[in-house]
Amino acid sequence: MPIDDTHDPALESWVESANDPTGDFPIQNLPFGRFREAGDEDWRIGVAIGDQVLDLRAAGLVRSHDMTSVMRLEPAARRELRQALSKGLAKGSDTPSRWRDALVPMARVRMGLPCRIGDYTDFYVGIHHATAVGRLFRPDNPLLPNYKWVPIGYHGRASTVNVSGQPFVRPSGQIKGPNDERPRLAPSQRLDIELEVGIFIGRGNAQGQPIAIDEAEDHVFGLALFNDWSARDIQTWEYQPLGPFLSKSFASTVSPWIVTLEALAPFRRPFTRPAGDPEPLPYLDSPQLRKSGALDVQLEVWLQTEAMRKAGLAGERISVSNFAEAAYWTVGQLVTHHTVNGCALDSGDLFGSGTLSGPQPQQAGSLLELTEGGKRPIALSNGEQRTFLHDGDRVRLSAHCQRSGFRRIGFGVCEATVLPAGTPPPRDDAQAVPP
């Protein structure tokens, strides 16, 4: 993914809101998503630019509103589309008169899932999270023997991935405490967050044809924010011997904009391992991977309780982290490992990274870690405390990339609110909410 003139920090847009240096969507970003206005029956493909959405079909850049057709483009064709968007939206371009009518204010649109998600795999790449959680249960041996050799993952539930803004109902399931004689069915009391990055597959592969490590990122369309909500008390009882099931499948939340790998090109970092750790097996290793396989994405978790909302308070930041520093495996390694057995991926398939906690306690990406398994509640500025989520709590994830000599870009937001157990589920179209 080369750095080219589309990343020029001096580049400005005739869409003036895109020139705000604190904004998420400058002309150097150009993320993709699906939107609709009031009265629309079908989703449209758009690109975020400042506080506007450019309707790609109305601008004459695509023939249909099928996001899959864009995601399946070859890398060269994707770069050509990015070049066309950049040139057409740049200040001084001769396209404003033709494209101005293709702009829709973000305040007027409803965002949907960024694409049709056919399948979903959740990985466990956050080594600091894996170590901290393992230490809660296995103080002398927190990491299992395979962790540093193989990217760990499990098959998730695509049908309950929601777009940012859609609330979800507190799950119920079997729970058995350490002193209980038998399990009981009850609403989860240890509802947790998981700060993750979502990875969207662009081009798939044929069954039986693994994707080589140096070709892996050609099959990735881009990244989004992802919150894989977890019911820790349900998980504790059910996870042995096959891993998470109902403790994870009730809801996950993804941000509506996919930030492409082309936009992320300036924010590469070398992929390294701590001294003494095993080297990846050859199929998961290459000189190019070591040179620039990691992605420098700054991550934040914000919590707004119902009391804060009623008082007009925006909420407060409870954690910060970084994708490159938290992840033991790279995006490319996940793609290659997922297909090494011949597994077929398809456009729109989603990977969750797993919880991305940093090495310091305040960088934990879950309440399980922040509160040491619920033993140490976190104190909020309005006097409330939290071990796990209460009904009415709203969690927001945000992220951005920033590096000297380049323009800051952001991911938008990924947020959802916890509804009480037994609440009638939101209507199907509730996933199309303002960003």
Assess whether 27 and 151 both reside in one domain. Answer: no
Assess whether 179 and 306 both reside in one domain. Answer: yes
CATH of the domain at 30: 2.30.30.230
Assess whether 127 and 234 both reside in one domain. Answer: yes
pLDDT single digits (tens) 253-265: 999 999 999 999 9
Q: Which of 111, 138, 162 is the last residue of a domain?
A: 111
Q: Answer yes or no: are the C-beta atoms of 100 and 13 closer than 8 Å.
A: no
Q: How far apart are CA 225 and CA 302, in angstroms?
A: 13
Structure tokens at 29: 């970003």
Assess whether 221 and 348 both reside in one domain. Answer: yes
CATH of the domain at 239: 3.90.850.10
Structure tokens at 153: 């993952």
Q: Nearest CA to 263 among 412, 117, 409, 113?
A: 409
Assess whether 191 and 245 both reside in one domain. Answer: yes
Q: Which of 111, 141, 169 is the last residue of a domain?
A: 111
pLDDT at 386 over 50: yes
Coil, helix or strand for 378?
A: strand
Mean pLDDT lowest among 49-53, 238-242, 321-325 = 238-242
Cα 21–Cα 365–Cα 281 angle in degrees, nearest 5:
100
Count of structural domains, the chain: 2
Structure tokens at 222: 């881009």
The phi-psi region of residue 164 (left if phi > 0; otherwise alpha if psi is between -120 and 50; otherwise beta) is: beta
Four-point Cα dihedral 288, 114, 228, 250, nearest 10: -140
Could you identify the residue written with the tokens 């960088």? Answer: 363
pLDDT-derived band at 137, boundaries 50, 70, 90: confident
Tell me if the bond preceding 241 is cis, omega within 30° of 0. yes
Assess whether 208 and 278 both reside in one domain. Answer: yes
pLDDT-derived band at 81, boundaries 50, 70, 90: very high
Q: What is the pTM of this model?
A: 0.96
Q: How far apart are CA 390 and CA 372, in angstroms?
A: 17
Assess whether 229 and 336 both reside in one domain. Answer: yes
Cross-strand bridge partners of residue 316: 303
Distances (CA, A) of 10 to 47, 98, 296: 20, 24, 21
Q: Which of 68, 89, 111 is the last residue of a domain?
A: 111
* Residue 118 CA from chain centroid, whole number: 16
The whole-chain average pLDDT of the chain stands at: 95
Q: Long-range contacts of range 234-243, CB-CB < 8 Å, 24 or more positions apart?
A: 234/171, 234/173, 234/174, 234/175, 234/188, 236/176, 237/174, 237/175, 237/176, 237/183, 238/173, 238/174, 243/154
Mean local confidence (pLDDT), 77-86: 98
Assess whether 139 and 169 both reside in one domain. Answer: yes
pLDDT-derived band at 96, boundaries 50, 70, 90: confident
pLDDT-derived band at 84, boundaries 50, 70, 90: very high
Distances (CA, A) of 324 to 4, 269, 311, 353, 359: 23, 7, 37, 11, 12
CB atoms within 10 A of CB 363: 22
Assess whether 73 and 159 both reside in one domain. Answer: no
Q: What residues make up the domain containing 385?
A: 120-431
pLDDT at 433 over 50: no
Q: Nearest CA to 59 among 78, 37, 87, 38?
A: 87
pLDDT, position 333: 98
Task: From the candidates 65, 128, 129, 400, give the one annotated as an active-site residue.
Answer: 129
Q: How far apart are CA 323 and CA 259, in angstroms?
A: 14
Q: Which residues of 288-316 are buried (b: 16+ CB within 10 A; e: fewer)?
A: ebbebbbbbbbbbbbbbbeebeeeeeebe
Annotated active-site residue 129? The verdict is: yes
pLDDT at 360 over 70: yes
Question: What does the DSSP 8-state code read for residue 182?
Answer: S
Distances (CA, A) of 340 to 10, 25, 219, 346: 42, 36, 14, 15
Assess whether 105 and 133 both reside in one domain. Answer: no
Distances (CA, A) of 42 to 38, 65, 110, 367, 428: 11, 9, 12, 38, 14
Q: Answer yes or no: are the C-beta atoms of 297 and 324 closer than 8 Å.
A: yes
Mean pLDDT lowest among 105-109, 116-120, 134-138 = 134-138
Assess whether 136 and 214 both reside in one domain. Answer: yes
Q: How far apart are CA 279 and CA 284, in angstroms?
A: 9
Assess whether 135 and 101 both reside in one domain. Answer: no
Q: Nearest CA to 292 among 271, 274, 273, 262?
A: 271
Sorted by sequence, the CB contacts under 8 Å of residue 274 that are 6+ apart come out as none
309 phi, psi to nearest 5 deg: -60, -45
pLDDT, position 427: 66
278 phi, psi to nearest 5 deg: -70, 145
Mean local confidence (pLDDT), 24-53: 97
Q: How far apart are CA 281 and CA 325, in angstroms?
A: 21
Q: How far apart are CA 255 and CA 226, in angstroms?
A: 7
